Structure 1
């Protein structure tokens, strides 16, 4: 049987479900679906509606060349989304704005025209007041002044940024010159008449054109749009979660507070009418995040975590309190799983929580009365975008695992799962997935998933690829479009996806086994479970390779310097030399807080470059600020210093992307990634068969 995983063209043409939002009345779910553009160089996103009871067929809601994302419902059932689609007055190429699609039908209409665009929105359950995330230039006192200053910079092609605080970069983009800002606005101020405003180019000409006066007035914000009110601005306006009270009067947000070069996240309450701010929870060397509010607005829940130190990891504690932070109590104190999402059940009696657990990502119920945590789902899936269904004990979610991409489902209180209609049906595969485990030298259970190609047996054993996850606080439990073992299985490889020490979902002690010692238990765990898997009669132990990205790339580098058991090693966006990495990554304080100086030296892979005997494929993107390109360049230089032949040739390869970041996002660049990886594996594994 031919499947989409046999062809990279077919694979990248598969539609992808990115997100889900459940309507206030629980009748339908809106899905964000990404599809390949006609020129096959990117993805465009559209919104689709499906019934929430498992019946019916998908119905497309939006169409635009720029796409839509960030869909949320208002209290009245209208749909808000973020899009860079042009309206009648905005200039081409304007930043993404907030749009509203009426529940009663009709065309979508713009809600904002901010020069900084809109990046996120949070709504209230009983109010038309919303809060949006955007940005402002530091010298701009108003949104009009911000637009004019940005137009001046664009006209004069000024790109310089001056900093007086740390950091200056984040993941894949520069910070500044604009800074985060939170705005409140009232949707009932959205006028029926279309707004009229000069185009951006006209505004620029008025400011700096040949006939413009230096004191040209700020262009007025469109009168037909609700005027955003500035609630919070500056670096402290970045958030680690927001929630609005049902009446929309108060925003609870997790915002950073400077702590030297570092920052801690505190919980604050902001009056959305006046901008008045009061602190709800704040402790030195502690982060508070992921706030969620009960449907009646009386209870607040959040995650509290001490800052990690080289001595060990900190737990992610689940807490509940009154809205003002009073009567705080820890929930589920004997449960050491880390929440990845939190919602109140429809009756506010419990929390609906997702967390990594034993190689899955189940849904849990956490009673607010102090009762024991119970696990709702017990299948081999990970759940995201969980939302309670109004008037029921059911929830809507997306679920996935390594065999099945994200798809919408409805989950009953007893864990029964009903698949919903989907505009992106799950693709067929001939591969299979089994669970494997072993016991480490210290007695710890180490488990993982093994994806097997069709026909692998004792008569035709499959070559093995060891895939090492990133993080390192992570688990191989959910679908990834970037790393798909089904593509490898379609080419005859078995793929081992293990969770070694430092992985989440096995408790704090399991994480602590690898703390400040990445090259110790994480490495031996990987070797132990590889030993167990290659002992199977459907695995060819004479043909094996190791691969990983980010922390997985670090481990691939460590493996290369500590064993020659593999025939090939692929290292993507990898940490190589801790002596340079800690000061060049986008946020050095974290990395310097989790390693002791001695641990950083002892666990740096670059010290073992002379011991490498295995051909390596090094992959790095120049716009990767989390693991800067210097790591890949130094690795490549060190490999050639120690292992290049007299004629300059080398068994190693370097795949370099000048315009990609930590992830390879362009479909065609990602295709080259897979083609290069599979060619490298073919050269070094199958040649030995």
Structure 2
């Protein structure tokens, strides 16, 4: 782990993790964009607003050399996001801050703003009735593309505004669907659908020449819709890509499949005419995350095979010529890792690719030229996860956000020139250099160690163990096993929402293991648990818990368990199959698999992956009568991925059918924490505080044996009463 964040050297003062109010107020860094000349890095910092009830974002400059401190460059009550540099060095971003040309409206959608390269005040350059977002720019021209939602019958943006005004005036919220899906995570889909709009920043100066800010008046971009009548095609496409000359937009494009499903193809759209052709259509896979090569000739993209009840996905990086009717070529077919994002090197010879790997997320180099098996080489040496990779145009270095369980995301520089100059096969991974970011790292309340054990089939199972300060054989710490969600996921990096250090500050050791189905260990490791969630994932978790409980600094007699989403499924399955835990917390959890499948927001995924036999044999609800462990059930009503019906049914059956039912006087050891206006994660600051306080109170009562009226009990928020 990086020495700069050694958790062994702590002061005597409490850390922010000892105080939930201080924790939710910690600034949070996300996103990174590099200016064309390499002189500026811009990141986003999220902070708590004065009411302490919502978060607001601002943009900060980070010095790429690391010499100068970071400085804030935007400030507003609404916040700013989606920052990206234009070809001339101007900075584009989206914000719902008041438009000086319009009357103030707290419900106004996000607009596109431009901050000139040579300084000055930001100004609005584009608006749309449905708001703008997901900004992308061309590397060599003034072309910009944004997403905006339009009502299906809207002829253009002006007509869309009229239709929206009519719906608002008549208080119509109804949506008439003819396609599927109708919901996504925490929001309804429709009636408006995402479109892709394009414009040229050069139009802002009146004659198409010079700086976009040469005019003294207040011109706006002419946003042109290049994806009319898209239907569900752009429902969840992720970030598209513009060719360097701005003439072509490459994006995922969803098409229908049998039994009300969809899958993504890859299309190319002419930004002048709107003409579209299919770049790649693979009936057996979803295609996404396109990136266009610097010379505009090729597109690299991620291919993920469609699953079946017997076959887990295979994720690879492919490349195809940016022209009609070209055959794609896989670059990583023989690499047993799943690429998550890719960035071209300036000369087009290869790509920098991120992927989960053994509880980390390094950057790898993948050659884009040559035939046969393409070599994949690790670039970064840090035990960390890297995201938002930005390559300098001279190829000398790249910048990224680095995070781990020892530090949240922070901007770093990685020298690349010597790595690429070395002979293939002799290249050594490079340590990242921490830049002077806008947020200093906080002290941690304990230490982090790596743990592993062989599973029942001798497969290595590993994870992270966060230990409280002072845990020892003389003072062993109680243990909480925390199962991750996904299930195709890994406990590899910092999470503001699922943060083990808050439990560590309360005195617990927290085990974060990667059982079968976890990513970063190869496809066979995923396949071990495919279609049998209650088998290898369950026994893997028990095996590594056994190994950790054998440590002399862990108290095996005081152990709890918790998990969210798929981790909540594992919590429910554990509750019906073992009595070893003193208390179990299950958040946004799957309970009755036959009920969950048709009601989740994207039921076709479930139908592809889960057979009726699997749903019957591995459904936790069938074992409710075996539950002898107190459970805390948590669910948000706006959770469409795991609908609230799962939590409601679990709660009812715990009280009526478990081995610890409700007593005749109405009392119960179980608890149900319900959030009417939260989604899958519970994101608002005060609700996050409630979540952790209730969880800590429940664990204190059942794992530590502390009674609620004891001074050592953390207590519940008064706002719950």
Offset of residue 223 of structure 1:
8.7
In 1, Cα distance between equivalents of 2:444 and 2:531? 40
In 1, Cα distance between equivalents of 2:503 and 2:271? 51
Q: Is the 8 A contact 2:517 2:529 kept in 1?
A: yes
Q: Deviations over 1:66-99 (max 9, x none)?
A: 0001101111111111100111233412101111
Q: Is the 8 A contact 2:481 2:512 kept in 1?
A: yes
Q: Is the 8 A contact 2:58 2:81 kept in 1?
A: yes
In 2, Cα distance between equivalents of 1:307 and 1:243? 23
Offset of residue 191 of structure 1:
5.1
Partner of 2:290: 291
SS in 1 for 2:511: strand
Aligned match for 2:691, one of 653, 670, 673? 673
SS in 1 for 2:165: helix
Q: Is the 8 A contact 2:241 2:250 kept in 1?
A: yes
In 2, Cα distance between equivalents of 1:419 and 1:557? 41
Partner of 2:674: 656
Partner of 2:41: 29
Q: Is the 8 A contact 1:315 1:336 kept in 2?
A: no
In 2, Cα distance between equivalents of 1:263 and 1:121? 25
Offset of residue 358 of structure 1:
0.3
Partner of 1:475: 490
In 2, Cα distance between equivalents of 1:509 and 1:303? 20
Partner of 1:271: 270
1:506 pairs with 2:521: yes
Offset of residue 654 of structure 1:
0.3
Partner of 2:360: 360
SS in 2 for 1:111: strand
Offset of residue 377 of structure 1:
1.4
In 2, Cα distance between equivalents of 1:682 and 1:332? 48
In 2, Cα distance between equivalents of 1:248 and 1:119? 18
Partner of 1:685: 703
1:494 pairs with 2:509: yes
In 1, Cα distance between equivalents of 2:156 and 2:296? 32
Partner of 1:202: none
Residues 222-261 of structure 1: matches in 2 within 5 Å? 224-232=219-227, 233-238=230-235, 239-260=237-258, 261=260
Offset of residue 192 of structure 1:
7.8
Q: Is the 8 A contact 1:545 1:567 kept in 2?
A: yes
Aligned match for 1:394, one of 391, 394, 397? 397
Q: Deviations over 1:207-258 (max 9, x none)?
A: xxxxxxxxxxxxxxx9921111111133213324411111100011111011
In 1, Cα distance between equivalents of 2:160 and 2:328? 40
Offset of residue 369 of structure 1:
2.5
In 2, Cα distance between equivalents of 1:429 and 1:304? 39
Task: Single out whichever of 12-21 and 548-557 deviates more from structure 2.
Answer: 12-21
Offset of residue 351 of structure 1:
0.7
Q: Is the 8 A contact 1:549 1:572 kept in 2?
A: yes
Q: Is the 8 A contact 2:150 2:194 kept in 1?
A: yes
**TM-score normalized by structure 2?**
0.90
Task: Single out whichever of 308-317 and 515-524 deviates more from structure 2.
Answer: 308-317
Residues 434-583 of structure 1: matches in 2 within 5 Å? 434-583=449-598
Partner of 1:205: none
1:378 pairs with 2:381: yes
Q: Deviations over 1:177-206 (max 9, x none)?
A: 10111111111112589xxxxxxxxxxxxx
Matched positions, count: 661
Offset of residue 131 of structure 1:
1.1
In 1, Cα distance between equivalents of 2:239 and 2:266? 9
Partner of 2:71: 59
Partner of 2:713: none
Q: Deviations over 1:33-53 (max 9, x none)?
A: 001001100111000001111
Offset of residue 8 of structure 1:
0.8
In 2, Cα distance between equivalents of 1:544 and 1:38? 39
Aligned match for 1:109, one of 104, 117, 123? 123
Offset of residue 685 of structure 1:
1.4
SS in 2 for 1:304: strand
Partner of 2:154: 140
In 2, Cα distance between equivalents of 1:443 and 1:331? 31
Q: Deviations over 1:437-495 (max 9, x none)?
A: 00011111100000000000000000001010000000000110011111111111000
Q: Which runs of 5+ in 2 are unaligned?
A: 1-11, 208-216, 420-429, 708-721
In 1, Cα distance between equivalents of 2:632 and 2:359? 28
In 2, Cα distance between equivalents of 1:295 and 1:388? 12
Q: Deviations over 1:344-392 (max 9, x none)?
A: 0122211100000000000000011254100111322111111111213
In 2, Cα distance between equivalents of 1:615 and 1:247? 61
Q: Deviations over 1:265-284 (max 9, x none)?
A: 11111000000001111122
Offset of residue 430 of structure 1:
3.2
In 2, Cα distance between equivalents of 1:577 and 1:191? 60
Task: Single out whichever of 535-544 and 21-30 deviates more from structure 2.
Answer: 21-30
SS in 2 for 1:273: coil
Offset of residue 17 of structure 1:
0.3
Aligned match for 1:11, one of 20, 23, 37? 23
Partner of 1:303: 302
Q: Is the 8 A contact 2:30 2:43 kept in 1?
A: yes
In 2, Cα distance between equivalents of 1:654 and 1:369? 56
**TM-score normalized by structure 1?**
0.94
Offset of residue 633 of structure 1:
0.1
Residues 50-129 of structure 1: matches in 2 within 5 Å? 50-91=62-103, 92=105, 93-129=107-143
Q: Is the 8 A contact 2:302 2:340 kept in 1?
A: no
In 2, Cα distance between equivalents of 1:683 and 1:192? 69
Q: Deviations over 1:280-331 (max 9, x none)?
A: 1112232111111111111211122221001111211211121126253211
In 1, Cα distance between equivalents of 2:136 and 2:389? 16
SS in 1 for 2:407: coil
Offset of residue 28 of structure 1:
1.8
In 2, Cα distance between equivalents of 1:609 and 1:144? 56
Q: Is the 8 A contact 2:264 2:287 kept in 1?
A: yes
Q: Is the 8 A contact 1:240 1:255 kept in 2?
A: no
SS in 1 for 2:287: strand
Q: Is the 8 A contact 1:345 1:393 kept in 2?
A: no
Partner of 1:419: 434
In 2, Cα distance between equivalents of 1:117 and 1:391? 36
Aligned match for 2:627, one of 612, 616, 625? 612
In 2, Cα distance between equivalents of 1:555 and 1:485? 18
In 2, Cα distance between equivalents of 1:677 and 1:253? 42
4+ long deviations beyond 3 Å: none
In 2, Cα distance between equivalents of 1:116 and 1:557? 41
Partner of 1:166: 180
Q: Is the 8 A contact 2:382 2:432 kept in 1?
A: no
1:602 pairs with 2:629: no
SS in 2 for 1:365: strand
1:351 pairs with 2:357: no
